[in-house]
């Protein structure tokens, strides 16, 4: 294990050197991605793999390795530009790629010392994958970069996958896949829970998982993350630069797992003749949607339902407003409860997301065939928010914190669930009687309001106040921009 830890350490130490040059974690991870991909593609052409070269001659690792100084820097730029024009996985990884390492001496060290000296293909998948995941997480925590919105806490993802239970042969999709957390967790789950023969392994690696990511730079990190874990072939499992909401899907899936971007409205930036920028609300007109709205999360919820095969299952992270907003929100909740079996809602605590000001929940539902009778009979709500206090640094969310939820969910047979203090069921009739079919339901008492002795630590209180202020600020800035229109 020593050498493996050594590699992770080396990757980190080098990151610090480059950060002195003004590179962010994001820039560093991106440059590592380009170079690692070139090096691994080179290793695959040699014994014991002897695969045909994926990268055109003259743009490969060998052509980079022998150069130095300015020629190295300009050839590296040339490689990035040319590979970005290629189809398939190459294109997704190198699209719009730029060299951010200005100093050729540092680039040379990165090429020859850090990446050139290792045989990356022979390293355990877990080592490469975990090192890369670690870098992605650091990047998410790097508040200035704002990459936090592309990173869902891995402990939460794991618990969601543990209850949704993807199986061999099922297709799993994430229409807002970020750096690939849900897809990787589904892959891990299927490969550890089941004995897979060679064909099933191949299907899982190359066919079962897919995703869409609007931001090309994030899609690149996702594809590399999957690639380092042994997932994906010539074709990329991720479609990049595509707005998942723009059109009705042509492929349907057994399982959809996603944490769509927070941010209230879908909008496009329009620049006027005077050079002034304004944001225009982006509304999606889709025949398969129940309601037309510019609220991005409500659109994602409708889109996720449209991606499911009949009897397919979904888990989607949604902010609180999806549970209570009137108008289109009410229409969508009514339709969802009728056409799908909306069986579980997990209310999440604050302080677990890298993007601040997020009050969120996970909604679990199954798509069903058309029917006169509503499919939802009972919605079970697990309150994991009241009296739960987490912070990213001092008390981060761990997978075992969700053990009680996973046990209560009772995935092996949902119909034998039991009421507990935190887990209560509400019948379809009860839900419809609520004003605007509001699903924002609480019943536990907040201890800190009852008794000042049970207040959480000051750092937690401070973090929660920050969350609340940030959430309020986001809502106000949204109202301000709406009024401006």
For residue 361, what is the enclosing H or E element?
Answer: strand 360-367
281, pLDDT greater than 70: no
What secondary structure does DSSP assign to 180-242, as a single string?
SHHHHHHHHHHHHHS---HHHHHHHHHTSEEEEES-HHHHHHHHHHHHHTT---SS-SEEES-
Both 111 and 253 in one domain: the answer is no
Domain boundary among 133, 165, 191: 133
Q: How much is the pLDDT for 273?
A: 62
Q: What is the mean pLDDT of residues 88-105?
A: 90
Summarised one tens digit per residue, pLDDT across range 207-238 is 999 999 998 888 998 998 898 888 887 788 99
144 is a domain residue: no
Q: How much is the pLDDT for 458?
A: 83
223 is a domain residue: no
Q: How much is the pLDDT for 299?
A: 94
Tell me how far apart the alpha carbons of residues 236 and 180 are, in angstroms, rounded to a whole number.
13
317 is a domain residue: yes
- Local confidence band at 5 (pLDDT 50, 70, 90 cut-offs): low
Q: How much is the pLDDT for 404?
A: 98
- Local confidence band at 2 (pLDDT 50, 70, 90 cut-offs): very low
* Mean pLDDT of all residues belonging to the chain: 88
Q: How much is the pLDDT for 467?
A: 75
Domain hosting 406: range is 243-476
Both 112 and 258 in one domain: the answer is no
Both 421 and 274 in one domain: the answer is yes
Pairing relationship of beta strands 277-281 and 267-271 according to DSSP bridges: antiparallel
Both 110 and 258 in one domain: the answer is no
Summarised one tens digit per residue, pLDDT across range 54-87 is 899 999 999 999 999 999 999 999 999 999 999 8
- Local confidence band at 267 (pLDDT 50, 70, 90 cut-offs): low
Tally of domains within the chain: 2
Query: The CATH number of the domain where 101 resides is what?
Result: 1.20.1260.30
Query: The CATH number of the domain where 381 resides is what?
Result: 3.40.50.150
| CB distance 328 to 286 below 8 Å | no
296 is a domain residue: yes
First to last CA, the chain: 59
338 is a domain residue: yes
Q: How much is the pLDDT for 64?
A: 95
DSSP 157: H
292, pLDDT greater than 50: yes
Both 257 and 128 in one domain: the answer is no
DSSP 390: -
Phi first, then psi, for residue 51 (nearest 5°) are -85, 155
434 is a domain residue: yes
| CB distance 346 to 316 below 8 Å | no
Domain boundary among 83, 107, 133: 133
Q: How much is the pLDDT for 1?
A: 41
Higher-confidence residue of 460 and 69: namely: 69
217 is a domain residue: no
175 is a domain residue: no
């Amino acid at each position: 294990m020593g050498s493996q830890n050594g590699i992770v350490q080396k990757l980190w130490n080098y990151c610090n050197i480059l950060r002195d040059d003004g590179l962010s974690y994001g820039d560093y991870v991106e440059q590592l991605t380009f170079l690692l991909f070139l090096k691994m593609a080179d290793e695959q052409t040699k014994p014991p793999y002897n695969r045909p070269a994926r990268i055109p001659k003259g743009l490969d690792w060998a052509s980079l390795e022998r150069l130095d100084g300015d020629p190295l820097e300009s050839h590296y730029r040339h490689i990035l530009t040319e590979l970005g024009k290629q189809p398939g996985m190459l294109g997704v990884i190198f699209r719009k790629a730029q060299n951010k390492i200005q100093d050729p001496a540092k680039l040379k060290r990165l090429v020859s010392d850090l990446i050139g000296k290792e045989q990356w293909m022979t390293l355990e998948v877990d080592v490469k994958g975990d090192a890369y995941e670690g870098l992605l997480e650091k990047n998410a925590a790097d508040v200035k970069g704002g990459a936090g919105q592309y990173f869902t806490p891995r402990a939460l993802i794991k618990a969601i996958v543990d209850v949704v239970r993807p199986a061999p042969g099922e297709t799993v999709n994430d229409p807002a896949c970020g750096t690939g957390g849900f897809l990787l967790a589904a892959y891990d789950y299927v490969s550890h829970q089941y004995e897979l023969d060679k064909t099933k392994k191949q299907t899982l690696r190359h066919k079962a998982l897919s995703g869409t990511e609007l931001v090309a730079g994030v899609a690149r990190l996702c594809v590399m993350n999957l690639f380092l874990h042994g997932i994906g072939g010539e074709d990329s499992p991720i479609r990049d630069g595509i707005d998942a909401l723009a059109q009705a899907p042509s492929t349907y899936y057994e399982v959809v797992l996603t944490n769509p971007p927070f941010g209230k409205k879908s909008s496009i930036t329009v620049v006027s003749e005077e050079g002034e920028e304004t944001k225009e609300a982006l509304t999606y007109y889709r025949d398969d949607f129940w309601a037309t709205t510019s609220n991005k999360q409500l659109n994602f919820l409708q889109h996720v339902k449209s991606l499911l095969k009949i009897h397919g299952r979904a888990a989607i992270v949604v902010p609180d407003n999806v549970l209570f907003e009137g108008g289109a929100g009410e229409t969508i909740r009514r339709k969802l409860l009728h056409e799908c079996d909306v069986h579980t809602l997990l209310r999440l605590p604050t302080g677990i997301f890298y993007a601040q000001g997020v009050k969120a929940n996970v909604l679990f539902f199954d798509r069903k065939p058309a029917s006169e009778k509503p499919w939802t009979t009972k919605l079970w709500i697990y309150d994991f928010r009241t009296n739960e206090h987490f912070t990213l640094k001092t008390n981060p969310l761990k997978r075992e914190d969700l053990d009680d939820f996973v046990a209560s969910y009772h995935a092996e047979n949902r119909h034998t669930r039991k009421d507990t203090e935190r887990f209560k069921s509400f019948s379809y009739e009860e839900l419809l009687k609520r004003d605007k079919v509001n699903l924002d339901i609480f019943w536990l008492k907040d201890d800190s309001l009852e008794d000042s002795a049970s207040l959480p630590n000051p750092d937690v209180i401070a973090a929660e106040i920050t969350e609340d202020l940030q959430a309020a600020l986001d809502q106000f800035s949204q109202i301000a921009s709406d009024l401006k229109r």
